[in-house]
Structure 1
Amino acid sequence: MFWGYKPPWYKRGPASNARLDTVLKSSPFWKPLLTRRILVPAEGWYEWTGEKGAKQPWFIQAKDGAPILMAGIAGWYPDAEMDAARGFAIVTEDAAGGMVDIHDRRPISLAPDDALAWVDPETPVEDALELLSTSRPGSAFVWHQVTPAMGNSRYQLADASEPI
């Protein structure tokens, strides 16, 4: 799937993140996607701190080592083209606790049972939106600095998430 969503009428570039406050307001941008809920599984994600030219990447992962199940919404449907109009976005919320020192936003990470309900087409939109308030707390995550080489998207070595 294309990471980013851009409806045909939207004049700017694709949005890769859907802010929770905007999603909850039934924004015309996101409302059509609320019945196309997805999960984005990950071992963790990266954020950067510092000034331009000297950014320090950080790897954030679940403290318990379990996969992170990020809530997402998508314009995709079976047999659709893989383009921005049928792409997806990860739903994000304000960061809290010590994580806010790394970045002011974070993906909504759901516990396995909530994640299953999130993607269940039988879950009404209103109930699905309530699940977004059950995101795993910031205390469920740990983070550490990783090699600054991660600032280059071509960097694909095995040490990409190892602490420095």
Structure 2
Amino acid sequence: MPGRFFLTRPDLLGLDTQPRANIAPGEDVWVQTAKEMRLMRWGMIPVGRTNARGRPVLETIINVRSETLYTKSAFEGLRRAVVPVEGWYEWTGEKRRKTAWAIRPKDGGVLHFAAVYDIWQAPGGTEVAQVATLTCAPSADVRDIHHRMGVILKREDVSVWLGDDQNAAADLMVPYPDGRLSVTPATDVDWTAP
């Protein structure tokens, strides 16, 4: 499941912004909503989420299991969005000896990750637009390196995901078709750089 994204060719999205080879949780990422393309913080503090004692939970969630999106109260009222990027990274191996893998579309284009977002009212009245991507079972392309992957939408399904039909959107929360992703070792990435 996505833990880091990359967008080294923002011109693919028509954006005039700096290339980014290492987008980490907690940083801003470009998000497409039904109305606009805008920056949002990657990682959500679910609005209204409480623990067993009724106290607010402030744990940040970067990925939401698609299987529980419509069943957990913590996700009620979220709006659907898309996070367009060139790809994401996964790691395999033991601690301090992990291999980083870059996963991208074989055609070299853009991946459209299904996501949900809301606006969090931070202490002091500050509003923070926040987003989390959805995950599902992996496709055959990713299965050997991770047990989950992001829900990736086909380009023609983006408008359905962003539309009003919740049932049609729910039908899209499936693994990306096999054979469409390239998985290669990630080299020359500065993992400390924002």
How far did 1:96 drift? 3.0
Q: 1:103 aligns with which of 146, 150, 153?
A: 146
| Secondary structure at 2:127 match in 1 | coil
Alpha-carbon offset, residue 99 of structure 1: 1.4
1 or 2, which has the higher helix percentage? 1
* Matches of 2:192 and 2:147, distance apart in 1: 22
Matched-pair contact (CA < 8 Å) for 1:95–1:138? no
1:144 aligns with 2:144: no
Shift of 1:129: 1.2
1:8-157 correspondence runs (5 A): 8=47, 9-10=49-50, 11-24=57-70, 26-33=71-78, 36-76=79-119, 81-82=127-128, 86-120=129-163, 123-133=164-174, 135-147=175-187, 150=189, 152-154=191-193
AA at the equivalent of 1:51: E
More contact order relative to length (CA 8 Å, sep ≥ 6):
1
AA in 1 matched with 2:127? E
CA distance in 2, matches of 1:153, 1:138: 32
% identical aligned pairs: 30
8 Å CA contact 2:141, 2:181 repeated in 1: no
Give the structure-2-normalised TM-score: 0.66
Contact 1:57 1:151 in 2 (8 A): no
Structure 1 unaligned runs (5+)?
157-164
Deviation, structure 1 residue 126: 2.1
Q: Which runs of 4+ in 1 moved over 3 A?
A: none
Residues 44, 22 of structure 1: alpha-carbon distance in 2 compared, 3 angstrom cutoff? same
1:95 is displaced (CA, Å) by 0.9
- Cα distance in 2 between the residues matched to 1:98 and 1:7: 31
Offset from partner CA, 1:75-116 (integer Å, 9 cap, x none): 139xx712xxx4110011111324111111111111112111
Please identify which structure carries the higher strand content: 2
Give, as a single letter, the amino acid of the residue that structure 1 aligns with 2:147.
Answer: D
Match of 2:21 in 1: none
* Structure 2 unmatched ranges of 5 or more: 1-39, 51-56, 121-125
Distance in 1, Cα, partners of 2:182 & 2:168: 29
